[in-house]
Amino acid sequence: MCALTATKMKNSFGDYFRRKIAEGKHKMLVINALRNKIVLTITAVVQKQTRFDKNYIYQNLQKP
């Protein structure tokens, strides 16, 4: 239900949903991907014990 609600919002999750549908992806496929994004975001916030930052940029600090 959380993913369905997120598809209607004007945030990064809603933007992601609309962008993928415009690319021609199946609706259920995009909702499943959105579910995964929400769970991973919640997990990261809980593990880091920080607030959600929508402007966060991941930087891979490991050298190849």
Query: Mind giving me the DSSP string for 21-36?
Result: HHTT--HHHHHHHHHH
pLDDT in tens, 5-26: 888 888 888 999 999 999 999 9
Q: Distances in Å between the alpha carbon of 56 and those of 4, 39, 50?
A: 24, 17, 12
* Within-domain flag for 63: no
pLDDT of residue 2: 83
Domain that holds residue 24: 2-48
Using the predicted structure, report yes or no on whether residue 27 has a pLDDT greater than 90.
Answer: yes
* Within-domain flag for 60: no
* Within-domain flag for 59: no
* Within-domain flag for 19: yes
pLDDT-based confidence at 63, cuts 50/70/90?
low
CB under 8 Å to 6, separation ≥6 — which residues?
13, 14, 17, 34, 38
* Within-domain flag for 58: no
Using the predicted structure, report yes or no on whether residue 52 has a pLDDT greater than 90.
Answer: no
Q: Which two tokens stand for residue 36?
A: 């995964």
Q: Cα(46)–Cα(49) distance, rounded to whole angstroms?
A: 5
